[in-house]
Structure 1
Amino acid sequence: MNDKTNFAVIGSGFAGLSAAAYLAKAGYQVDVIEKNATIGGRARQLNTNNGYLFDMGPSWYWMPEVFEKFFADFGYKPSDFYELKQLDPGFSVVFGDDDVMAVPADFNALCQLFESIETGSVAQLKLFLAEAAYKYKTGMDKLVYKPGLSLTEFWDWDLFKGVFKLQVFTAFSKHVRKFFKNPRLIALMEFPVLFLGAMPEDTPALYSLMNYAGLQLGTWYPKGGFGKIIEGMQEVCKAQGVKFFTNTAVTSIKVANNRVSAIVTANDTRAYDGVIAAADYHHVEEKLLEPPFRNYQESYWDKRVMAPSSLIFYLGITRKINRLDHHTLFFDADLKQHAQEIYKEPQWPSKPLFYVCCPSKTDDTVAPAGHENLFILMPLAPGIEDNDDLREKYFNLIMDRLEHFSGVAIRQHLDYKQSYCINDFVADYNSYKGNAYGLANTLMQTANLKPSISNRRIGNLFYAGQLTVPGPGVPPSIISGKVSAQQLIKYSTKNK
């Protein structure tokens, strides 16, 4: 291998950092080019001048073995970079003023909770999770590390034998209702797909693997927030010589002889031997590449089912709020109606579900003593109107319900307030339609049916992140970076 082989990674979120680390480990010189002032993509942090530290995006630490596997590939452990704590309860679900389901970390306690809600449901829960465990193990061992470039990738006897057990062609909603009748248990099982995917009836039952991740593998928290994971991944990159260029927006990708030849930024033009685009896939295609070199036309993107955008509030509160847990989901409204208003009839919701993260319950470094750090998220249809008046209207709607539930006049104790919504996702990440999570996990957007990880017209350009394989979420993004790096290394080795 030529020591001067030089690769660029566009974007420094989880996928970009993962790709850069694996490329550098293989001996290549790697530059990470980031448009924003700080690295981390959606996992950037907001550090206020009055003592609050907010994770701006991801807040659920599920599938811990994916993080362990990443760091182990470079001779590290997560504990070399951050302290991990299992949450107990993992999360709570609010169905009404006096109807709160706290989901315990201990499985026996979880079984007792289910039985107290629906007689006979313990046996059903164990069956459900046994099936979900099979999907999780098969998915993690056999599916998510595949590049999705050919159907021959799935010519695997174990996969073939288990294809029906994976339930790719069964609806998630139908699958859940085979096991449980109580609407609260159904809502508990369906919440991950609402916040990260599509309508439960449009999501393959394969994704019950998410229930296994949340209910059996546990919900965790890295002290100091998700920014600590980003810092750890950046340290891994830097230890291998990766260079970082922030405040550097890419304006175009130059192509010669069906290969990337250079990247143009506002500052300069640099020659590269290969590129991984870990920025927004649609933006890269529509804004950085000339039409002959794009995988997809605009009409293709317009037909994709996007996962939700979000209205987010970062709030500093000058007192404690006792009734909140680290993760609290407010399902005191109709889940089906809110999902309908995200996916079927896109509009601002009439009575939204929302989620509150209060990391100061677990971590005394994210807020001043005696204060609370609140991250509030309301799932929202991508691509709809976003303005300050709408944000304020929904802030007060959410606050009315949160103050009623908590018994605390939160608005009277505000020490910090900032909103984040569709327009910000577009401005900061060039996010297609302002989406927060990427593509919805529908049957027609699974595995090889996702946008290709490989540019079909440019041999040394590959994509990574939530709009390609394996899909949305932090662990899949880390995996996506590794898979795209492997493809670029394979191409470079073959064509050196």
Structure 2
Amino acid sequence: MKKVIVIGGGLGGLAAAISLAAKGFKVTILEKNSHLGGKLMAVQLGETYFDFGPNTITMPDVFREVIALSGENPDEYLTFIKLHSHTRNVSSDGTKFDFSTDREIMLEQLSRLDPTGAKNYHAYLTKVTELYKLGQTHFFRRTFTSTKDYLSPSLGASFSKVKPLTSLHQFNRRYFTNPFVIQALDRYATYIGSSPYISPATFALISYLELVDGVYYAKGGNWKIAEAFEKIARKLGVEIRTDCAVTKIVVKNKQAVSVEVADEEIYYADIFVMNADLLAAYPDLVHEKDRSHFSNQKAASYEPSISALVILAGLQERNEQLLHHSVYFSTNYHKEFIELMKDRKYASNPTIYLSNSSVTELDKGPHGDNLFILVNAPAVTSSADNSIFIEEYKKQIYTTLESHGLSINANLKVEKIITPQDIQSKFGAFKGSLYGAASNRKRDAFFRPRNKARDIGNLYFVGGSTHPGGGSPMVTLSGINVANTIAQVWENNTDS
């Protein structure tokens, strides 16, 4: 039975471990933190509960698929609640535009906000559905392990159809005229840590997920997805070690042979799967001489995606105007992205995202709203202490929300701030970025670092910094895809 070490127990690592264990491999997960699931973790402050990680869940069948791989019934582990009108977008002047999978609700709003957009809405949904289906057919379910994978004729033919040379902002302007409507749809670029004015229109496929297929919430908290994966992994015999940071991958004759962990213990295996941020962990764990095709210089050349400043705020009052998801937009979206991505500084007038899961499950905030507040932040550029600035920036965020009628300061019961530096430290994120490399350059949008090391024959990569990309469904798919690839390569050797 071939042995596999999975470095990191995020969703990608868990999915790979479950899939491989179900195929007969002996799998061990080594996770540096005390929990599994990576950023998808629960946080409790007093009696108030928060999901730290992905708050917007799409493609629930991907998570069900992982459980089904084990032969278990997904419905016994996870219940997904579909959110009807899921996101309230609020402009700087207070105009509201609610996202919904109900086309009548969308058309009614567009007829008031953007009559041209209302006429074009069917054509828009048709196009984003086409983009999604192209992604599903040609990108989501494949691994990139060698140069020939990038030169596939079918990939080349599909690449030309996914609007690689048009920006997301330009794409949205073809169908809509109201600047606020366009701004609300442009925000989907932030789901991949990028700017809508640069990232390709391909990512309009996210509109299909939110406006056609639907936005979901896992009953009990989205972190329940990671909990379910952990239960399945243990049932399959996967050995799991938490609080176990890998410090080195030992390479001999272009093959990884073992890993060393912080307590100097050594783990040997035949195959290694890295579910840490590739751009940070690969250079950190493997000596540069053993990865000539991925030098320190090459790793540093990638443009990091945006990071986030997160405030967890438990209130003792409920703000009735909030949906499960709400977004309060800045006055100048283009300036905001210039400040974030070109000037590498916090936006002077940030767009503010709120998740309030107590709208859907009251007990998550028994006394009032459980606000997960996020603003886009620049990647980490120095180790300087900016705690005073962060405190002042938090006050600015609260003041903006107060101006929209949300009572924060007077009703604040518990609070915790998570900075980009915290994200970098706790999750090993490349410069604190949420999604590895940004998708502003065509190379990084479509040709992310491959799923297999070029210089090390038995080292594979899963997670948001490799294919098929960031976001919890894509990260999970990367684990499934890589496990299938490993099984194909090693299928004749599993009994040796």
- For 2:267, the aligned partner's letter is R
Q: Quote the residue 1:465 is aligned against.
A: 463
Q: In the alignment, what sits opposite 2:390?
A: 391
Match of 1:376 among 373, 376, 379: 373
Relative to structure 1, is the Cα distance of residues 196 and 160 closer, same or farther in structure 2, using a 3 angstrom cutoff? closer
Give how far 1:161 is off: 5.5
Amino acid at match of 2:315: I
- Match runs of 1:340-351 below 5 Å: 340-351=338-349
Q: 1:111 aligns with which of 107, 113, 127?
A: 107
Residue 487 of structure 1: how far off its partner (Å) = 2.8
Task: In structure 1, list runs of 5 or more residues that go unmatched.
Answer: none
Of 328, 331, 350 in structure 2, the residue corresponding to residue 330 of structure 1 is: 328
Conserved 8 A contact 1:367-1:373: yes
Task: Quote the Cα distance in structure 2 between the aligned partners of 1:241 and 1:183.
Answer: 54
CA distance in 2, matches of 1:162, 1:422: 36
Distance 1:76 1:112, change over 3 A: farther
Give aligned-pair identity as a percent: 26
1:230-269 map, 5 Å: 230-267=226-263, 268-269=265-266
Q: TM-score, normalised by structure 1?
A: 0.94
Shift of 1:284: 2.4
1:80-229 alignment, distance < 5 Å: 80-96=76-92, 98-150=94-146, 152-153=148-149, 162-229=158-225
Shift of 1:196: 2.5
Where structure 2 has 5 or more consecutive residues not aligned to the other structure, the ranges are: none
Could you tell me how far 1:75 is from its partner in structure 2? 3.3
User: Do the aligned partners of residues 333 and 195 (structure 1) sit closer, same or farther apart at CA in structure 2, a change above 3 Å counting?
Assistant: farther
Other structure's SS at 1:41 match: coil
Q: 1:101 to 1:75 in 2, by over 3 A?
A: same
1:300 counterpart (293, 298, 301)? 298
Mapped partners of 2:254, 2:72: distance in 1? 38
Map of 2:414 onto structure 1? 416
Give the Å deviation of 1:463. Answer: 0.8
* CA–CA separation in structure 2 for the residues paired with 1:451 and 1:117: 41
Q: 1:446 — aligned with what?
A: 445
Q: Distance in 2 between matches of 1:217 and 1:223?
A: 18
Structure-2 separation of matches of 1:438 and 1:355? 21
**Aligned pair in 2 of structure 1 residues 163, 277: CA closer, same or farther (>3 Å)?**
closer
In the aligned structure 2, how far is the partner of 1:60 from the partner of 1:440?
20
Q: 1:269 to 1:160 in 2, by over 3 A?
A: closer
- Give SS of 2:474's match: helix
The whole-number CA distance in structure 2 between the counterparts of 1:54 and 1:201 is 32
Residue 362 of structure 2 aligns to a residue whose secondary structure is coil
Kept after mapping to 2: 8 A contact 1:326/1:362: yes
Q: Which moved more, 1:435-444 or 1:209-218?
A: 435-444
Residue equivalent to 1:318: 316
C-alpha separation in 2, matches of 1:90 and 1:151? 41
Distance in 1 between the 2:306 and 2:375 partners?
Answer: 9
TM-score (norm 2): 0.94
CA contact (8 A) 2:421 2:432 kept: yes
Structure 1 residues 76 and 191, CA, compared in 2 at 3 Å: closer, same or farther? farther
CA pair 432-161 structure 1, distance change in 2 beyond 3 A: closer
AA in 2 matched with 1:397 = Q
Q: Residue 302 of structure 1 aligns to a residue in which SS? A: helix
Alpha-carbon displacement from aligned partner over 1:59-82 (angstroms, at most 9, x marks no partner): 001122322333333334543223
Q: Which residue of 2 aligns with 1:74?
A: 70
Deviations, residues 355-400 of structure 1 (Å, cap 9, x unaligned): 01111111123122x3221100011110245632122111100000
1:278 Cα deviation (Å)? Answer: 0.3
Specify the alignment match of 2:23 in structure 1: 26
Deviation at 1:303, TM superposition (A): 2.2
SS of 2:129's partner is helix
Which amino acid letter does the alignment assign opposite residue 308 of structure 2? S
Picking from 22, 25, 38, the partner of 1:41 is: 38
- Deviation of 1:243 (Å): 1.1
Against the structure 1 CA distance between its residues 165 and 382, is the aligned structure 2 distance closer, same or farther, given a 3 Å change threshold? same
1:158–1:256 distance in 2 versus 1, CA, 3 Å: closer
CA contact (8 A) 1:322 1:406 kept: no
> CA contact under 8 A between 1:276 and 1:485: conserved in structure 2?
no
Give, as a single letter, the amino acid of the residue that structure 2 aligns with 1:446.
Answer: A
The aligned length equals: 489
Q: How much is the aligned-residue C-alpha RMSD, in angstroms?
A: 2.0
